A and B are shown apart, each in its own frame.
Chain A
Amino acid sequence: MSVLLDLMGSTFIGGILLLLILKLNLFVTNTSFTSDSELKLQQSTKTLADILNYDLRKIGYNHDKSSGSPFITVNDSVIEFKADVVPLYGDGTTETVKYYVGESELIMGQSFRVLKRSVNGTEDMAGPSLGLVKLNFSYLDSVSQTIADPQSSLSKINYVKTELWVEPEIQFDNFTTSVRDSIYTYWELIINPRNL
């Protein structure tokens, strides 16, 4: 009888432990997915910011100021400018560099944009979307006031402000609430190109 009680008791305790481990595993797996997703989101955003940061800091580099502003097209979704962006430290001639976002693409039911870069109008470069959903450029004057119509005031531009909204390409249901997570990252860069 005592052996039977021992067996029943240990089976009961073992079952509880097993359930706890299963639950813990489920929780950790879910947390791990979310954590991976957040990490990827952060790394993708930093990659996009690094790409923009590298080129926007060179606006006007080796550009002849007497020929006018290095900016060509400036609006909230496109920035086109002259700069010598050839690594390393330029080659003495300026290129026309353009950043813009492509049309929306559906990835797993979500709409993403791709950041595109062209040099001299021919070398279109684009990578994966990296979860970019929105990109916004704005332009500030020397006292950090936003210029309402930058295209007609190119010489007033002193700072370029870039805003990025990035979401995970794969989103998961929240383990606790069962609602799809809607995390996103907002990254803001204000760059003062030294060659203006």
Chain B
Amino acid sequence: MGKSSLIIVLGLSVIVAFFILKLNANSKESLSTTIDMYKQTHARQIANSGVEIYLDKLYFNPSMINNTYQNNELMNGSYDVILTGSYQNVKVTSTATFMDITHTSVVHASLVDIVAPDMLGVLYLPTSAIVWSNTGNATLNINGHNHDWDGFLDSSFASTYGIYVNNQTDKTQIVSKLAKNKNAFIYGLGDDIEPYSIGVGGIVYENEKWKLLSELLASAAGSNVFDSKSKIPIILGTKEEPIVAVINEPDPTKSVSLNNLEGSGILVVNGSISIAGNFKWHGLILAYKDSKMAIQLTGQATIIGAILATGNTIEFLGQGTVDLKYSKQTIQYVFNQATPLGYKITSWWE
């Protein structure tokens, strides 16, 4: 009897084990399908990141051309990069390995001049469906007449509009909001006819142009990239050495503080900024990518140059003052000094 029981128990165990193994094989295969997809995606991302990292490095160090850079570690994988061609026209071959998966991206890029954009308004909003908010009666002195570097009126360049939008609906909305703010003064082209100088450019969809400009500028920023945790210097570029700086805070709940800061050059902003104390900027402020640009004012902000905002939400909050003065020569000067060239991608195989 004892022997029989043992045989029955062992027999049953073998049968059950067989069934479990069979079911487990499917489960393992299923997991493997998912993981394969993850590995492929991860390897591709490593290879693509490798391209961007080495284009950035090459930009600042032309002697890196026609060399191979192996075993760079990134995101728990590794990648090899080959830079061939010339500094002006480079081919980047990035081969990434993540676990047992390999992915190769081949990219051609050319150095191009980054030219200053034509600003149709000193506050240029080349997008549609703008949400404009100026709560708290912030004082807005927006002036599209040309000024010199020091902020004095200068007739050597033509005036532009105070604000420039794509369509009449946006203009109507902005005018109605401005009318509720007795401290809003919008000067520039047409201010002798209408209370506010606001230009309308019909349907002009130029997001690609601004995206490219933003990316070129971001690649020229070098180490001047800040977020809400960064300690931002109180001087960001000078007249003698204007710089490109990037403020990147994609978290909409956080705001980057620009307190008592003075700078010259091109300030690329992705996210919300708050200005307390005094803020003075010579050059262009380009707000891109994120759909919201919130300026929390508790002090005095002076911008001599222009603001280009490609998102669709503009908020001026608080009780402070904004002096925005158009200065074409300032914009041209900072572009000439701070951004000689940038890499433009001509083709990307991935």
Q: Which of A38-46, A129-137, A173-181 sits within the interface?
A: A38-46
User: Would you give the 0/1 interface string for B1-43, flagging 1 where the beta carbon is closer than 8 Å to chain A?
Assistant: 0000000100010011001001100110110011011001000
Is A62 interfacial (CB-CB < 8 Å)? yes
Contact indicator B33/A156 (Cβ below 8 Å):
no
| Assembled-state Cα–Cα distance A49/B37 (Å) | 10
**What distance in Å separates the Cβ of A42 from its nearest Cβ neighbour in chain B?**
5
List chain B residues, Cβ under 8 A from A11.
none
Contact indicator A142/B211 (Cβ below 8 Å):
yes
Partner of A46, one of B8, B23, B26, B33: B33
Is A32 interfacial (CB-CB < 8 Å)? yes
List chain B residues, Cβ under 8 A from A21.
12, 15
Q: Number of A-B pairs whose CB atoms are under 8 Å?
A: 62
**Docked complex: A30-88 residues within 8 A CB-CB of B:** 31-32, 35-36, 38-39, 42-43, 46, 49-50, 57-58, 61-62
Partner of A35, one of B27, B348, B349, B350: B27
**What distance in Å separates the Cβ of A36 from its nearest Cβ neighbour in chain B?**
6
**What distance in Å separates the Cβ of B129 from its nearest Cβ neighbour in chain A?**
9
Partner of B208, one of A39, A57, A142: A142
Contact A39:B23 (CB < 8 A) given known A89-B349, A141-B207: no
Contact indicator A61/B23 (Cβ below 8 Å):
no
List chain B residues, Cβ under 8 A from A110.
none
Closest to B205 in A: A156
List chain B residues, Cβ under 8 A from A89.
106, 349
List chain A residues, Cβ under 8 A from B12.
17, 21
Contact indicator B349/A32 (Cβ below 8 Å):
no
**What distance in Å separates the Cβ of B247 from its nearest Cβ neighbour in chain A?**
19
List chain B residues, Cβ under 8 A from A49.
37
List chain B residues, Cβ under 8 A from A58.
349-350
| Assembled-state Cα–Cα distance A88/B254 (Å) | 45
Is A90 interfacial (CB-CB < 8 Å)? yes
Contact indicator B26/A36 (Cβ below 8 Å):
yes
| Assembled-state Cα–Cα distance A83/B350 (Å) | 12
List chain A residues, Cβ under 8 A from B15.
21, 24
Contact indicator B312/A143 (Cβ below 8 Å):
yes
Contact indicator B348/A142 (Cβ below 8 Å):
no
List chain A residues, Cβ under 8 A from B348.
61, 194-195
Is A28 interfacial (CB-CB < 8 Å)? yes
Contact indicator A39/B30 (Cβ below 8 Å):
yes
User: Would you give the 0/1 interface string for A148-169, flagging 1 where the beta carbon is closer than 8 Å to chain B?
Assistant: 0000000110000000000000
**Docked complex: A99-135 residues within 8 A CB-CB of B:** none
**What distance in Å separates the Cβ of B272 from its nearest Cβ neighbour in chain A?**
17
Is B58 interfacial (CB-CB < 8 Å)? no
List chain B residues, Cβ under 8 A from A155.
205, 208
List chain B residues, Cβ under 8 A from A156.
205, 207
| Assembled-state Cα–Cα distance A61/B15 (Å) | 56
Give the size category of A's interface with B: 20 to 34
| Assembled-state Cα–Cα distance A142/B15 (Å) | 58
Partner of B16, one of A24, A42, A57: A24
Contact indicator A61/B19 (Cβ below 8 Å):
no
Is B291 interfacial (CB-CB < 8 Å)? yes
List chain B residues, Cβ under 8 A from A32.
22-23, 26
Is B88 interfacial (CB-CB < 8 Å)? no
User: Would you give the 0/1 interface string for B194-209, flagging 1 where the beta carbon is closer than 8 Å to chain A?
Assistant: 0000000000010110
Is B345 interfacial (CB-CB < 8 Å)? yes
**Docked complex: B203-222 residues within 8 A CB-CB of A:** 205, 207-208, 211
Closest to A35 in B: B26
| Assembled-state Cα–Cα distance A58/B106 (Å) | 12
List chain A residues, Cβ under 8 A from B26.
32, 35-36, 38-39
Is B347 interfacial (CB-CB < 8 Å)? yes
User: Would you give the 0/1 interface string for B330-349, flagging 1 where the beta carbon is closer than 8 Å to chain A?
Assistant: 00000000000000010111
List chain A residues, Cβ under 8 A from B36.
46
**What distance in Å separates the Cβ of A64 from its nearest Cβ neighbour in chain B?**
11
Which residue numbers of B lie inside 8 Å of A, CB to CB? 8, 12, 15-16, 19, 22-23, 26-27, 29-30, 33-34, 36-37, 40, 106, 205, 207-208, 211, 291, 311-312, 345, 347-350
Give 30 pairs: A residue, B residue, CB < 8 Å, sorted on A: A24-B15, A24-B19, A25-B19, A28-B23, A31-B23, A32-B26, A35-B26, A36-B26, A38-B30, A39-B26, A42-B30, A42-B33, A42-B34, A43-B33, A46-B37, A50-B40, A57-B350, A58-B349, A58-B350, A61-B348, A62-B347, A89-B106, A89-B349, A90-B349, A142-B208, A155-B205, A156-B205, A194-B348, A195-B347, A195-B348
A sample of 19 more A-B contacts (CB under 8 A), given A39-B26, A143-B291, is A17-B8, A17-B12, A21-B12, A28-B22, A32-B22, A32-B26, A36-B26, A39-B29, A39-B33, A58-B349, A89-B349, A90-B349, A141-B207, A143-B207, A143-B312, A155-B208, A194-B345, A194-B348, A195-B347
